[in-house]
Amino acid sequence: MPDCIFCRIIKGEIKSDIIFRDDRAVAFPDVYPKAPVHILIVPIEHIPSVAELDEAKAAICAHMVTVANRLAREQGISESGYRLVTNRGPDAGQAVLHLHMHLIGGKEMGDIA
């Protein structure tokens, strides 16, 4: 998608501090962090949201969780705890229409329910 900011970051058209990259996903800091650690994990393939995942594409979520777990260990938050969040649609706060997972930690966040 030529106008998708995450696709442009993945292609290197927009500079970002890439923390992780492989053939399926990239990870970089959120520009509006909600905690000391706030990293976005984004699939290389443009998928608008979690709602577009089917059996054939579901494996990308498992890979994104694996990447999040690795990054949580590297960032030193795996023992104290972290949150993994994906949003779907404007009411949930999805600002970029490209599937992404937020890895958030480094402070006590409390209950959100």
Query: Residues with catalytic annotation?
Result: 100
DSSP 62: H
Structure-block tokens of residue 65: 């969780």
d(CA 34, CA 64): 20
Whether the CB-CB separation of 75 and 81 falls below 8 Å is answered with no
User: What tokens appear for 64 in the block?
Assistant: 């994104």
Nearest of 33, 30, 17, 38 to residue 105 by alpha carbon: 38
